[in-house]
Chain A
Amino acid sequence: MATAVSDPAPHLAVPASMAQVGKLTRYQLREYLRSRRYVALSAIVLVIGAILTFVVAHFRGSIVSTSLAFYGSFWGAGADIVIVLAAVFFGGDAIAGEFQNKTGYFLMGLPLRRSTVYIGKFIAAFLASVSMMVLFLAILVLNGAYYFGTGLLPWQLGISLVLAIVYLVAVLGATFLFSSLFKTSAYGFVLTAILFLFGFSLLQDLVADLVKIEPWMIISYAESAIGQVFSASPNWGITGTAVTTTVGMGRFMVTTTTYTAGIAEAVVIMIGYFLVTAAAGLWLFEREEFS
């Protein structure tokens, strides 16, 4: 069997790492946009939007009393879950999948730094997740237009959107870290979903109620800022507020303290989470062997 092949070309100049990040992001994003998981998550976001639309239409009342109350309720109720689901869908197996699906053996034979692969995949997961947020936002704005006309959106929505994007970056940072810990995709998916859907909230309550300190070290504590900007008097500060309530229960008096993060504090927590988890995830990936 005769097979003709060409002689090797002169040495090629491999693109700079930053350029390779851009290229890798483009191809990874294309892979996400064509995947079944993208279609599935789009459907889930549409379902979440439909449920909220129904709830608002059915109960109305105080929810649509003002545009601020409406946007605060709708966005506050749905944005965080959309963010967590997007992070799970696009980041849960971003690194673990390279080992499990053997795509890493394809990428690692190329003249790329491992950090290039990590950053490229992170940006692609971020962009795919943002597209889900945009879909949810579109449902929100359509509802808002129905109840309040097509006038100006409240400026608080813009701030909340920025906070949601910062939260997404933090959640993705943690998701990529979990994904780097394992060589099996399912573990990354499950750990991210459990922690962000209820694990961190549970920890936050335990820290606040049992240890009686401000749970600034828990990411879900910072997430509350996304909804807080719609409140009548948001705390823009770098320190949280604590409200202590004492309730009588028969012969016992139960005292609970509720902490609320300042918005600036929440941003610092989210950025801190991202920096620590991204650095740890990258450190792990740099040392992970394709054995």
Chain B
Amino acid sequence: MVGPSLEARGLTKRFGRFTALDGLNLKLEGTKCVGFLGPNGAGKTTTLKLLTDMIFPTAGGTWINGTSVQEHRKRALADTGVLIETPEIYPSLTPNEALGMVADLRGVPASERKHRVETVLAEVKMSDWANQKYGRMSKGMKQRINIAAALVHDPQILILDEPSTGLDPRGVAEVRAIVRALKNSQRLIFMSSHILSEVVDVCDEVALIDRGHLLFYDTLPNVISRFGGAHASVDVQFSRPLPPDAVSRTIPGIPGVKNCQQLDARRLRIQFQGGLDAQEKLAEALVGQHLGLVSFSESESALEEVYLSQISRGD
């Protein structure tokens, strides 16, 4: 069975003389989380708005699950949850009412509606505010309600435009936790962001756009190995302080490892050669060393290097 899909073909958008997108071709397929990176004005939000028919393409088009968004918006958006530009809900409605309205308009059967609304409000930790007026809520609370609204019909596809923008650190962490949890629930998530740590933390793949052009789209390790010079990089954490010889001999001796930098007593940044396969072998080797490995993640700095090198190339 073909999984959920999002596609842009020859997507071009001009605002007067300004070309926001120039012949973008991008196809996302399957259940995964794809980060959509780019500097301000790169064309991220424009792409997402074109994917949801909020604006209209100058040329090309967008498809959701094979259905043209421009020709059949209703069918295309039926199984999609959308959060773009921190939207506002009618201020006098309560979250219960607003989500009930969304569920109603989306065709969630009346018998399931109450349960679905309660479930998504619990997911975004807003159950205690279910009957308060939306207009009186803080920005962070509104954003969580907006995420709940995007989820109330259990969509296969989620389109999120910088979901943690403008939130305080706690709000950012909470939204990130929600997205991370969603990633494990058989959905295709397309999330724009300019927060690299967020993308490293929650995304499987990354697409980088600049000045309306797609620079690359690949898995995170492949992107780092392809564009980050010869070496990819991971940050690892151990449950106990590392013995000196582990840093100086054991870990650098693992095949493919090119450099090992100690960040503190329990954390290392390891540069290695290769893509996903090499990363998998490195993780297995580290576990095999019985050093108390508790965390293994893409190095944010590695993606940052790629990001900056690719963006500055266009300057």
Chain A interfacial positions (CB closer than 8 Å to B): 1-9, 11-15, 17, 20, 23-24, 27-28, 30-31, 34-35, 101-106, 108-113, 287, 289-291
B52, B90, B186: the one within 8 Å of A103 (CB)? B90
Closest Cβ of chain A to B132, distance in Å, is: 14
Q: Which of B152-160, B238-246, B261-269, B284-292 contacts A (4 or more CB under 8 A)?
A: B152-160
Closest Cβ of chain B to A34, distance in Å, is: 4
What would 27 A/B residue contacts be, using CB atoms closer than 8 Å? A1-B177, A3-B178, A5-B123, A5-B151, A5-B182, A6-B123, A6-B154, A12-B79, A12-B106, A15-B107, A27-B90, A27-B93, A27-B97, A31-B90, A35-B92, A102-B87, A103-B89, A103-B90, A105-B54, A105-B86, A105-B88, A106-B89, A109-B54, A110-B102, A111-B77, A291-B54, A291-B55
A161 and B38 CA atoms in complex are apart in Å by 59
Are the CB atoms of B54 and A108 closer together than 8 Å? yes
Contact flags B43-73 to A (C-beta < 8 A → 1, else 0): 0000001001111100000000000000001
A111 and B82 CA atoms in complex are apart in Å by 10
How many chain B residues sit at the interface, stated as a range, is 35 or more
Say if the beta carbon of B149 comes within 8 Å of chain A. Answer: yes
- Other than A30-B97, A106-B87, give 17 A-B pairs with Cβ distance below 8 A: A3-B123, A3-B180, A3-B181, A6-B154, A6-B185, A12-B107, A23-B104, A102-B86, A103-B89, A105-B54, A106-B89, A111-B76, A289-B56, A290-B54, A290-B85, A291-B15, A291-B54
A14, A27, A101: the one within 8 Å of B101 (CB)? A27
Are the CB atoms of A290 and B107 closer together than 8 Å? no
- Sorted nearest first, the 8 A-B pairs with minimum C-beta distance are A109-B82, A105-B87, A9-B154, A106-B87, A3-B181, A290-B54, A1-B177, A34-B92
Closest Cβ of chain B to A106, distance in Å, is: 4
Q: Which residue of B lies closest to A120 (CB)?
A: B105
Say if the beta carbon of B83 comes within 8 Å of chain A. Answer: yes
Are the CB atoms of A112 and B107 closer together than 8 Å? no
* B77: A residues at CB distance < 8 A: 109-111
Are the CB atoms of A7 and B102 closer together than 8 Å? no
A2 and B125 CA atoms in complex are apart in Å by 12
Q: Which residue of A lies closest to B100 (CB)?
A: A27
B82, B146, B181: the one within 8 Å of A5 (CB)? B181
* A11: B residues at CB distance < 8 A: 78-79, 156
Q: Which of A20, A104, A105 has the largest count of B CB atoms less than 10 A from its CB?
A: A105
Are the CB atoms of A103 and B154 closer together than 8 Å? no
Say if the beta carbon of B75 comes within 8 Å of chain A. Answer: yes
Are the CB atoms of B74 and A111 closer together than 8 Å? yes
A24 and B102 CA atoms in complex are apart in Å by 10
A290 and B88 CA atoms in complex are apart in Å by 13
Are the CB atoms of A4 and B181 closer together than 8 Å? yes
* B85: A residues at CB distance < 8 A: 102, 105, 290
Looking at chain A's contact residues, the main secondary structure is loop
Are the CB atoms of A12 and B108 closer together than 8 Å? yes
Are the CB atoms of B87 and A289 closer together than 8 Å? no
Say if the beta carbon of B150 comes within 8 Å of chain A. Answer: yes
* B156: A residues at CB distance < 8 A: 8, 11
Chain B interfacial positions (CB closer than 8 Å to A): 15, 49, 52-56, 73-90, 92-93, 97, 101-102, 104-108, 119, 123, 125, 146, 149-151, 153-156, 173-174, 177-178, 180-182, 184-187
Are the CB atoms of A108 and B186 closer together than 8 Å? no
* B78: A residues at CB distance < 8 A: 11-12, 14, 111
A13 and B154 CA atoms in complex are apart in Å by 13
Are the CB atoms of A31 and B104 closer together than 8 Å? no
* A4: B residues at CB distance < 8 A: 123, 181
Are the CB atoms of A106 and B146 closer together than 8 Å? yes
Are the CB atoms of B107 and A13 closer together than 8 Å? yes
Q: Which of B54, B80, B177 has the largest count of A CB atoms less than 10 A from its CB?
A: B54
* B87: A residues at CB distance < 8 A: 102-106, 109
Q: Which of A4, A23, A106, A108 has the largest count of B CB atoms less than 10 A from its CB?
A: A106
Closest Cβ of chain A to B139, distance in Å, is: 12
Closest Cβ of chain B to A124, distance in Å, is: 11
A30 and B98 CA atoms in complex are apart in Å by 11
Closest Cβ of chain A to B53, distance in Å, is: 7
A6 and B97 CA atoms in complex are apart in Å by 21
Closest Cβ of chain B to A66, distance in Å, is: 45
| Given the contacts A3-B177, A102-B85, A110 and B186 also touching, CB distance less than 8 Å | no
Are the CB atoms of B93 and A30 closer together than 8 Å? yes
Closest Cβ of chain B to A129, distance in Å, is: 18
Closest Cβ of chain B to A274, distance in Å, is: 26
Q: Which of B54, B88, B93, B105 has the largest count of A CB atoms less than 10 A from its CB?
A: B105
Are the CB atoms of A8 and B185 closer together than 8 Å? yes
Are the CB atoms of B49 and A291 closer together than 8 Å? yes
| Given the contacts A12-B108, A34-B92, A1 and B174 also touching, CB distance less than 8 Å | yes
A2, A5, A13, A289: the one within 8 Å of B185 (CB)? A5
* A104: B residues at CB distance < 8 A: 87
